[in-house]
Structures are given as C-alpha cells and as structure tokens.
C-alpha cells in the first residue's frame, strides 16, 4: 500500500489529537474544574495533579501500544501482545498518579513484566469474580491500533479485540475497540468520519446492537451520555460530540477538532477519556496538522515524551509495515 502525505498526516493525527484531548480533559475529570467561558484549557491538575499539557493514563497506555507498533510493525502476535503487556507493566511499576480501578487491580495481581497470557488470564478471572469489565479503559487507548495494519482491516479488527482482552474481558469493550479502530483506519485512508465502517467485522447480533447505539448517539445530544466510565456511553459520548459539533464552512479542520473536544469535555464525568477517544478519530480525519500549535508545544508525558516524539513513533508504526 502506498500512502499519500495527507494520509500519513492523518495517521499521526490519530495519536497526537488523542493525546491532546486527554491532556485537555484532565483538568475537568469528575468535576475537578469548571470549564470557563473561553472553553477548556490545558490547565493540568485533575485527579492526578498533572502538569499543564501532561497526558494521563489514557495516552500512557496508548503509547505502550504505539511503541510496540513502531518496533514490530504488527500487533497481533503473542510476542507483540506480550511486549504491550510489559510496556504497561513498566508504566504501572512507576506508580502513575492516575490509573483506572480495573487496570490497577489486574496489574496488582500479575506481578512485574507479565506475558500476554498471564495478563489476559488475570483479566478473565476478574471478570468471573465481578461480571463487570466493560469500563472505558481499553477504548481509550485505541489511537495507534490501526497504524501498522492500514492495508488489512481484518488484522486491525483482530488486533483491537486482542489488545482490549488483555485487560477487559467483556465482549462489549472488545466490540467498541473494533468499531473505533476501524473507523480510525477508514478516516485515515478515506478522509471520512464513518463509525459504521467497522460493523461488518462484528457478529450479526452485535452488529444490530451497536448500530442502534450509533444511531442513538447521532440522534441524541452529547449531554445524554454522562455515564461514560462505561465503555458503551464513552463510545456514544465521543461520537455524539463529534457529530453534533458543526464543521465550519470551508472545512476549518482545527476549528472542528477544537470544537468537538470542547463538546466532549462539556459532557462531564470522565472528561479526559471521552476527549482522548474523540481526539483519536478527529485526528484520523483532520490530521496532525490540525492540532493547534499551542497544544503541541505543551504536550508531554510518560515515558518522557513530547508531541514530536509521538509523531515520530506514529510515522514509524505506520510506514514500517507497508511497502512504501
């Protein structure tokens, strides 16, 4: 597959805009701050007392996937999935300031440097105990999943499901990741926002169920989806924020990206995660070039990376697996 420069910009944009949405939303998570009249700002603070422009666990876990994609140029083998598990374990061992309850529970049980099988088995056991593993923690980290497999939608779907199952056994979490990752792929390749693009990769019953959820998000205002720690409402909140933010005349990519992220954060509750999810798809549509420069200059986070490091890793992840 040959990629145009615009497509490569959009591939990098998925990662960069997701990180920007995450860092932007961090200040407002669960009511830590109130959005002012000028819209959300890169204030820092939040539950993890982050520095302005610092990304949270959403992007840190996505970076683990991105680094493996850049090094291996694939994400479906047992070796790649174990590498991802160990990237996350290294991050967890550094005592991050903010981490989801489910993810913390799983890593507290596996010990340091687990294999993919060990991590997946621990997640499965937790699901058996609680029956509740459909949080938004796997959907939030999907920005890079499609990048090394843009030439193969089947493999994107397989990677999305396999990476989700490392920590989230519930089928709805995996299905949401499949749909969002394939929508990112479609946006990168076709410059279109189409969340239905991934429906053929779901089973019949799941396809009908998710189509109804997508249509509900399109028909309902973003404020309807406040229970967005649940993967389904996080998915709906992000999509509703995107489709209910008008695209200014003439395109204006930066304006639509800014406006959609502001809409996502205004929903409230898990603001950094909803904005990270929305940002991944917005960046895949509008490109890294649509991310405002003032955000790019501020972005930073685990493991000591900045915005330009994300772009470099995304470029390597995208081009490494393709015949250029």
SS (H, E, C) the chain: CCCCHHHHHHHHHHHHHHHHHHHHHHHHHHHCCCCECCECCCCCEHHHCECCCECCHHHHHHHHHHHHHHHHCCCCCHHHHHHHHHHHHHHHHCCCCCCCHHHHHHHHHHCCCCCHHHHHHHHHHHHHHHCCCCECCCHHHCCCCCHHHCCCHHHHHHHHHHHHHCCCCCHHHHHHHHHHHHHHHHHHHHCCCCHHHHHHHCCHHHHHHHHHHHHHHHHCCHHHCCCCCEHHHHHHHHHHHHHCCCCCCCCCHHHHHHHHHHHHHHCCCCHHHHHHHHHHHHHHHHCHHHCCHHHHHHCEECCCEEHHHHHHHHHHHHHHCCCC
- pTM for the whole thing? 0.97
Identify the domain containing residue 167 by its residue range.
Answer: 5-320
d(CA 167, CA 278) in angstroms, rounded, equals 21
Give every residue of the chain whose pLDDT is below 50, as ranges. Answer: 323-324
Residue 321: predicted pLDDT? 58
d(CA 260, CA 278) in angstroms, rounded, equals 8
Residue 248: predicted pLDDT? 74
CATH number of 272's domain: 1.10.4080.10
Q: How many domains does the chain have?
A: 1
Letter string b/e over residues 5-27, b meaning 16 or more CB atoms within 10 A of that residue's CB: eebbbbbbbbbbbbbbbbbbbbb
Residue 101: predicted pLDDT? 87
């Amino acid at each position: 597959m040959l990629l145009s420069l615009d497509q490569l910009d959009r591939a990098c944009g998925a990662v960069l805009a997701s990180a920007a949405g995450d860092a932007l939303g961090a200040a407002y998570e669960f009511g830590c701050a109130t959005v002012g009249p000028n819209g959300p700002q890169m204030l820092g603070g939040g539950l993890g007392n982050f520095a302005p422009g610092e990304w949270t666990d959403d992007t840190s876990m996505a970076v683990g996937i991105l680094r493996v994609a850049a090094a291996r140029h694939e994400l479906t083998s047992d070796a790649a999935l174990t590498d991802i598990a160990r990237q996350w374990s290294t991050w967890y061992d550094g005592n991050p300031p903010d981490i989801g309850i489910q993810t913390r529970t799983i890593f507290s049980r596996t010990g340091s440097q687990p294999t993919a099988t060990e991590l997946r088995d621990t997640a499965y056991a937790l699901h058996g105990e609680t029956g509740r593993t459909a949080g938004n923690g796997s959907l939030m980290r999907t920005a890079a999943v499609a990048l090394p497999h843009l030439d193969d939608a089947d493999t994107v779907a397989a990677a999305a499901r396999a990476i989700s199952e490392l920590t989230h056994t519930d089928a709805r979490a995996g299905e949401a990741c499949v749909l969002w990752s394939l929508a990112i792929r479609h946006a990168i390749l076709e410059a279109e926002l189409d969340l239905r693009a991934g429906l053929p990769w779901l089973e019949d019953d799941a396809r009908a169920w998710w189509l109804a959820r997508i249509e509900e998000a399109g028909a309902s205002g973003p404020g309807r989806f406040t229970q967005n720690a649940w993967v389904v409402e996080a998915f709906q909140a992000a999509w509703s924020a995107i489709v209910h933010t008008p695209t200014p005349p003439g395109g204006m990519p930066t304006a639509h990206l800014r406006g959609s992220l502001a809409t996502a954060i205004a929903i409230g509750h898990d603001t950094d995660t909803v904005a990270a999810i929305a940002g991944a798809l917005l960046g895949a549509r509008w490109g890294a070039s649509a991310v405002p420069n003032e955000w790019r200059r501020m972005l930073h986070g685990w493991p000591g990376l900045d915005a330009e490091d994300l772009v470099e890793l995304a470029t390597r992840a995208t081009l490494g697996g393709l015949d250029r």
